[in-house]
Amino acid sequence: MKLTAFCKSILIGIPVGITFFDCVGYVARVEGISMQPTLNPDASKTDYVFLSRWAVRNHDVERGDIVSLISPKDPDQKIIKRIVGLEGDVVSTLGYKTDVVRIPEGHCWVEGDHMGNSLDSNTFGPVSLGLMTARATYIVWPPSRWQSLPADLPKPRRPLSSSSKRYSHLQAH
């Protein structure tokens, strides 16, 4: 009798768990220094973040959001970066083939917070929104770092111009 109940729990629990991870989100380890000081500020400790798949299901993201995406250079690798520009924005680049880029429709510009130590849009250009897999919403480990990750964009990295009224409060003046 107990074995039957256990098997029923497994048969129900596995599909529910898979659905949760596929639709809602999951916890992931952040590796590397490209997002310092926001993530992994102390090289001896590794941050774990909650990645919300639900938050990006309609590509409803803002400048400053930290997102997980499939690397445009290696489809087997996921990277975590901050959104600096959205479609229609004009952004200044840091070592890209041109000094200024207008972000094409269906794309965004992503950068690591640790400028010069990040493989990001300054290397591979605008990124398709379809490569986005989740938005980092909270640091969940270690306990001393528990905090939410609000959309925040340093003034020097704000777009030079924006075509979106929705995000005009972040526009550089």
Does the active-site annotation cover 163?
A: no
DSSP 111: E
HSE-CB at 41 with a 13 A cutoff on CA atoms is 7
Instruction: Quickly list DSSP for 131-165.
Output: GEEEEEEEEEESGGG-EE------GGGS-SB-S-G
48 φψ region: left (φ > 0), alpha (ψ -120 to 50), beta (else): beta
Q: What phi and psi, each to the nearest 5 degrees, are found at residue 149? A: -115, 85
Distance of alpha carbon 94 from its chain centroid, rounded? 19
Instruction: Quickly list DSSP for 79-109.
Output: EEEEEEEETT-EEE-SSSSSSEEEPPTTEEE
Q: Choosing from 81, 118, 121, 162, which is the catalytic residue? A: 81
Does the active-site annotation cover 68?
A: no
Q: Choosing from 2, 8, 9, 34, which is the catalytic residue? A: 34
Is 41 in contact with 23 (CB distance < 8 Å)? no
Catalytically active residues, by annotation:
34, 81
